[in-house]
């Protein structure tokens, strides 16, 4: 069964925290579910639901199995999405309130006692990532054999060769995590990583074909992607050290405040856009914060981003494009970004 569930699930928690009633899943993150029976046969999966529960100190695996969800990296990652303030599940103190995925009670009652639902998040992206390093390998080998003159000099070539080595190293790590299925890999990180791998491949192919020196902008993009993937590798290594119950992928709450550029008064009615700096040239990779208020919040994985305000339905900046280096904050402190907006630029 293939479903869609939002990548940005921050808006889910507040309306449902006061109720234990089963709620349907919203419709925007890409994931697949398969019901595995005791005999190993796969069967169709009933529609999943969300439920707000108050824990009593149970391990997360027990909470998942009770709701007929097979414990694993993707299931844990889904829990972290649904509970933005949850830093880790080990320990999970008694009295913790969580939004959990599961099957409707009536459907679960009709299932075989040991049947569980296996969840796979963003499966199409994962499949392409698994092939990305193999696809990148041949063009990287060609680049490594090019003379230093194609790179403005030996230092520039060494920089690119090193950056490409780092990129391929992270892709290998990511593929290991996907194959093992034990880590709560962040869907947004997977999306960014695939887009960056594609960009590196297309940039190198165009460079080799051109017969010209590598453009400065292309060199800077490849180096930026390498730095970004090194940052992501830190999250990967941290989670891998966390055993079977790793904490959430390194991320942070980002609060963007819109203010008039002259009077500093709050401005609403504009949409906040963001994109990883390494993907700034790709309009299709631009994403948006939820809400049109003068202050909006999103939880973003660690990376270097550009953030700006634009009129609803458009992406043309009405504020400066501000660089925001998102890093996990001690105590889950928020990162505050002030964007000055000219009056009359579409805001209120």
Beta strands in 122-250 (DSSP E): none
Angstrom distance (rounded) from CA 98 to CA 213 = 54
CA proximity to 35, closest of 129, 96, 114:
114
Domain boundaries, the chain: 2-121, 123-241, 251-341
Mean pLDDT of 145-169: 95
Q: What is the pLDDT of residue 36?
A: 84
**Share above pLDDT 70 across residues of the chain, in percent, rounded to a whole number:** 90
- Are 296 and 334 in contact, with CB atoms under 8 Å apart? no
User: 12: part of which helix (H) or strand (E)?
Assistant: helix 10-16
3 versus 227: which is more confidently predicted?
227
Residue 88 in tokens: 């880790």
The number of angstroms, rounded, from the C-alpha of 166 to the middle of its chain's C-alpha atoms is 20
Residue 2, pLDDT score = 40
Residue 336 — very low, low, confident or very high, per pLDDT cuts 50/70/90? very high
For 99-126, the pLDDT digits (tens) are 999 988 888 888 888 889 999 999 999 9
Task: Please tell me the predicted confidence (pLDDT) of residue 10.
Answer: 31
As given in the structure block, the two tokens for residue 259 are 């203010």
Tell me, what's the pLDDT at 27? 60
Q: What is the pLDDT of residues 256-305, one digit of tens each?
A: 999 998 888 999 999 999 999 999 999 999 999 998 889 999 999 999 99
Predicted structure pTM score: 0.87
The per-residue pLDDT for 177 is: 94
Place of tokens 């290998």: 172
Three-state SS for 296-318 is: EEEEEECEEEEEEEEECCCCCCC
Which residues are within 8 A (CB) of 125 and not within 5 positions of it... i.e. 6 or more apart? 30, 187, 190, 191, 194
pLDDT tens digit sequence for 280-290: 999 999 999 99
pLDDT band, very low/low/confident/very high, at 24 (cuts 50, 70, 90):
low
Walk across the sheet containing 335-341 and list its strands.
Answer: 295-301, 251-260, 335-341
Greatest mean pLDDT range, 36-40, 63-67, 329-333, 335-339:
335-339
Residue 344 has pLDDT above 70, yes or no: no
Give the model's confidence band at 11: pLDDT under 50 very low, under 70 low, under 90 confident, else very high. very low
Q: In degrees to the nearest 10, what's the CA dihedral of 99, 105, 111, 113?
A: 70
Q: What is the mean pLDDT of the chain?
A: 88
pLDDT over 90, % of the chain: 70
Q: Which CATH number fits domain 251-341: 1.10.2020.10, 2.60.40.1120, 3.30.565.10, 3.30.465.10?
A: 2.60.40.1120
Largest Cα span, the chain: 69
Quote the pLDDT of residue 5.
38
């Amino acid at each position: 069964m293939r479903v869609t569930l939002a990548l940005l699930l921050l808006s889910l928690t507040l309306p449902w925290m006061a109720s234990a009633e089963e709620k349907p899943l919203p419709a925007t993150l890409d994931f697949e579910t398969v019901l595995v029976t005791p005999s190993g046969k796969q069967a169709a999966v009933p529609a999943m639901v969300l439920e707000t529960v108050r824990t009593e100190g149970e391990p997360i695996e027990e909470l998942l199995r009770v709701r007929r969800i097979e414990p694993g990296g993707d299931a844990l990652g889904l829990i972290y999405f649904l509970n933005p303030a949850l830093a880790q599940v080990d320990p999970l103190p008694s009295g913790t309130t969580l939004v959990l995925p599961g099957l409707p009670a009536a459907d679960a009652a009709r299932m075989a006692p040991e049947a569980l639902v296996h969840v796979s998040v963003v499966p199409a992206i994962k499949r392409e990532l698994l092939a990305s390093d193999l696809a990148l390998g041949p063009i990287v080998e060609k680049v490594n054999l090019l003379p230093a003159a194609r790179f403005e000099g030996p230092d520039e070539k060494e920089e690119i060769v090193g950056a490409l080595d780092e990129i391929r190293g992270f892709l290998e790590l990511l593929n290991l995590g996907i194959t093992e299925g034990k880590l709560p890999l962040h869907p947004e990180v997977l999306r960014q990583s695939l887009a960056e791998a594609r960009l590196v491949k297309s940039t190198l192919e165009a460079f080799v074909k051109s017969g010209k020196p590598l453009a400065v902008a292309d060199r800077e993009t490849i180096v930026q992607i390498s730095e970004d993937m090194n940052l992501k590798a830190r999250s990967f290594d941290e989670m891998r050290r966390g055993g079977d119950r790793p904490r959430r992928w390194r991320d942070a709450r980002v609060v963007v405040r819109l203010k008039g550029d002259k009077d500093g008064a709050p401005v609403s009615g504009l949409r906040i856009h963001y994109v990883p700096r390494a993907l700034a040239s790709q309009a299709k990779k631009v994403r948006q914060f939820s809400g049109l208020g003068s202050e909006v919040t999103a939880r973003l994985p660690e990376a270097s981003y550009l953030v700006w305000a634009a009129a609803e339905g458009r992406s043309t900046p009405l504020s400066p494009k501000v660089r925001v280096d998102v890093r996990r904050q001690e105590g889950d402190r928020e990162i505050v970004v002030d964007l000055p907006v000219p009056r009359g630029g579409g805001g209120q």
